[in-house]
Amino acid sequence: MKRMAFPTALALGLLVLSGANAQQMDPFGKYSDPVTINIGLSIQPTDKLPDGDSADNNQYTRYIKDKLNINTVISWMAATGNDYNQKVNLSIASGDLPDGLVTLDTAQLIQMAKADELADLTAAYNMYASPAMKAMISRNPKALSGVTFNGKIMAMPSLAVPDDGYHITWIRKDWLDKLGLKPPKTVAELEAVARAFIAKDPGGNGKGNTIGIAGQQNGANLYATFLNSTNNQFGLDPFFAGFDAYPGYWLKGKDGHAVYGSTTPETRAALLELQKLYKEGILDQEIGIRKDATESINSGRAGIYFGNWWSGYWPLPDAIKNHPEANWQAYAVPVDKNGKYIPHAGTVSNQYAVVRKGYEHPEALIKLLNLLIRDEGNFDQNNGSINWFPLRVPMAMIDESPVTIKAMHDVLANPSLIAKYQGPDYAMYKLLKTDVVGIGSTKLKPYDKSDIQYWNTSDKFWSRGYSYFTGNTAINSFAFDKVYSLVYYQTKTMIAQWSNLKKLEDETFLKIIYGTSISTFDQFVKDWKAQGGDTITQEVDAASK
């Protein structure tokens, strides 16, 4: 209780401080004359709106019109992922940005800032950011420095909970139980479990149809990288970490200088092991080339996959629809040779909301985000997911997860605590007020067990509750070391040459897993260094000093 009050106090302190050097305006002030903002919108093809609603006329835009007198106009929209990134790239290249957009790519942000296409948000942020937003940002000092160019704030960063950067292992516990196996800890134990799943076929899939370890799909990352450091669902990150290997990350070498994780002997060892697993048939035989990574999980053929704590949202709802008995549980494994789980950690921000240079109301973006932080919990997402909120970048308190888990357990044990968690002390945890109500409708007794049979899976709160009780609990129940990348952005030479080097890397690594001799790895390291890698390493070294 005492600890929880701290952020509030900090926020108030900051409010006083910032009020001293900048004129503070009403963060939620309604414009007297209507203001129009043209935006580019990225949306999941699965995000549906109720009949009659549209991208520029839905519960969020109406609410924004009502509260702020801002009209939202959609300049264009595209599916989240490559489609959207392409659309943004085209806008950048043609110098034709809408008034506001959200980029999901640090490289794009840097391009736009360098091309002088963005509005300076420094004044708008100082004058209009709500105390809650300032409190969140101040707890993540790196967030603002990542969007500051030449001393000016050029974008509003998302604030991810650190959990999104830690990748864990999901295992079919019902299969473990059926075979009388214990959850694995080491890489060897994990392999033994996968081997048993295939040999004994606890899922009844028929001979040769079980996939020990599910694989990534074509076009997605085999492991998170310094540029896409979070939310790499179905990557092999935990497996690499089991070898103390962090491919795609910039690490500090033993000599104190920067070294690229994909070129280390640890990565070589992990690749060799993956090759062995592929050959043995334990690793998905179509890893990296299959069209859809969720297919083997949803069809009940896979026993293990690596990924994120929020799997209760994706892919598990479909997986349990097909196989209600599929008891997917999360484990912070495998451990390395010293018996430690050491995941890599992501950046604080992976999305950035920007305003085009020359737009008359740059503060409109700040106001929209103020509103989002204050009122996100009030919207019924059955009437359109929060992704429809214009220019949304998710912002979360850095300790949102541990606070949420504790609150959920507290109110299950003692419902009278709901009022406390909905009170002003917790206003910064924007979803907590609905969380403490929702968990009661989906979690069944016994409350300390997270297995699938102890949930009301048809409840709309299940995804969130299950994600917190399984995946999130796995990474928030103990303290562990983590590995950071020296940089999370592209240095000068990278801008021109990184894509070539990354292609070389992707191609080589996948080929090694599929059975090409490991000597290709040594050749790759040589080529990588010769084709610009050495220069880039020096730049990273200099940047990280």
Partner 1 sequence: MKKKNLTTSYLMMLLPGYVWLFLFSIVPMIGFTFAFQAFVPGHGFFGSPWVGFDNFRYLFSLNDARSIFFNTVYISVFKIAGGVLVPLVFALLLNEIRVGLFKKWVQTIVYLPHFLSWVILGGIMLDVFSISGPVNRIVESLGGTKTAFFARADLFPTIAILSDVWKEFGFNAVIYLAALTGISPSLYESAAIDGAGRWQQLWRITLPSIATTAVLLTVLGLGNVLNAGFDQIFNLYNPLTYSTGDIIDTWVYRSGLLNLQFGLATAAGLLKSVMGFALITISYWLARRFANYRIF
Q: Which of 269, 272, 289, 412 binds partner 1 (CB under 8 A)?
A: 289
Total number of residues that touch partner 1 (CB under 8 A): 40
Using the minimum distance from each CB to partner 1, give the nearer residue, 92 or 259: 92
Which among 229, 480, 133, 466 is positioned nearest to 334, based on CA atoms? 480
Number of neighbouring beta carbons within 10 Å of residue 61: 22
Q: Does 286 bind partner 1 (CB under 8 A)?
A: yes
474 to 503, contacts with partner 1 by CB under 8 A? 495-496, 498-500, 503
Q: Does 523 bind partner 1 (CB under 8 A)?
A: no
**Closest distance of CB 502 from partner 1, Å:** 8
**Closest distance of CB 355 from partner 1, Å:** 14
**Distance between CA atoms of 249 and 262, rounded to whole angstroms?**
7
Using the minimum distance from each CB to partner 1, give the nearer residue, 19 or 95: 95
**Closest distance of CB 462 from partner 1, Å:** 30
Spell out, one character per residue from 43 to 82, where the chain touches partner 1: x when CB under 8 A holds, - when not. ---------------------------------------x
Residues 6+ apart with CB under 8 A from 256: none
**Closest distance of CB 471 from partner 1, Å:** 28
Using the minimum distance from each CB to partner 1, give the nearer residue, 66 or 507: 507
**Closest distance of CB 443 from partner 1, Å:** 37
Question: Distance of CA 485 to CAs 348, 457, 498, Å?
Answer: 12, 38, 16
Give the DSSP H/E element, type plus range, for residue 169.
strand 168-172
Q: Which stretch binds partner 1 (CB under 8 A): 8-16, 260-268, 280-288, 366-374?
A: 280-288
Q: What phi and psi values does residue 153 have, to the nearest 5 degrees? A: -80, 120
**Distance between CA atoms of 519 and 527, rounded to whole angstroms?**
13
Spell out, one character per residue from 197 to 216, where the chain touches partner 1: x when CB under 8 A holds, - when not. ------------x-------
Q: Please answer whether residues 260 and 250 qualify as being in contact, where contact means their C-beta atoms are separated by less than 8 angstroms.
A: yes
Q: Does 220 bind partner 1 (CB under 8 A)?
A: no
**Distance between CA atoms of 213 and 200, rounded to whole angstroms?**
15
Q: Please answer whether residues 350 and 160 qualify as being in contact, where contact means their C-beta atoms are separated by less than 8 angstroms.
A: yes
92 to 131, contacts with partner 1 by CB under 8 A? 92-95, 107-108, 111-112, 114-117
Q: Does 324 bind partner 1 (CB under 8 A)?
A: no
Q: Please answer whether residues 277 and 191 qualify as being in contact, where contact means their C-beta atoms are separated by less than 8 angstroms.
A: yes
Residue 317: CA count within 13 A, CB half-sphere: 13
**Closest distance of CB 289 from partner 1, Å:** 4
Q: Which two tokens stand for residue 112?
A: 């736009």
Residues 6+ apart with CB under 8 A from 204: none
In this structure, the chain runs to a length of: 545
**Closest distance of CB 274 from partner 1, Å:** 14
Q: Does 506 bind partner 1 (CB under 8 A)?
A: yes
**Closest distance of CB 198 from partner 1, Å:** 14
Residues 6+ apart with CB under 8 A from 38: 73, 74, 75, 98, 99, 100
> Cα-atom radius of gyration of the chain, to the nearest Å?
24
Amino acid 98 reads P
**Closest distance of CB 91 from partner 1, Å:** 9
Using the minimum distance from each CB to partner 1, give the nearer residue, 321 or 503: 503
> Where does this chain bind partner 1 (CB under 8 A)?
82, 85-86, 89-90, 92-95, 107-108, 111-112, 114-117, 209, 218-219, 285-286, 288-291, 495-496, 498-500, 503-504, 506-507, 510-511, 514, 527, 531
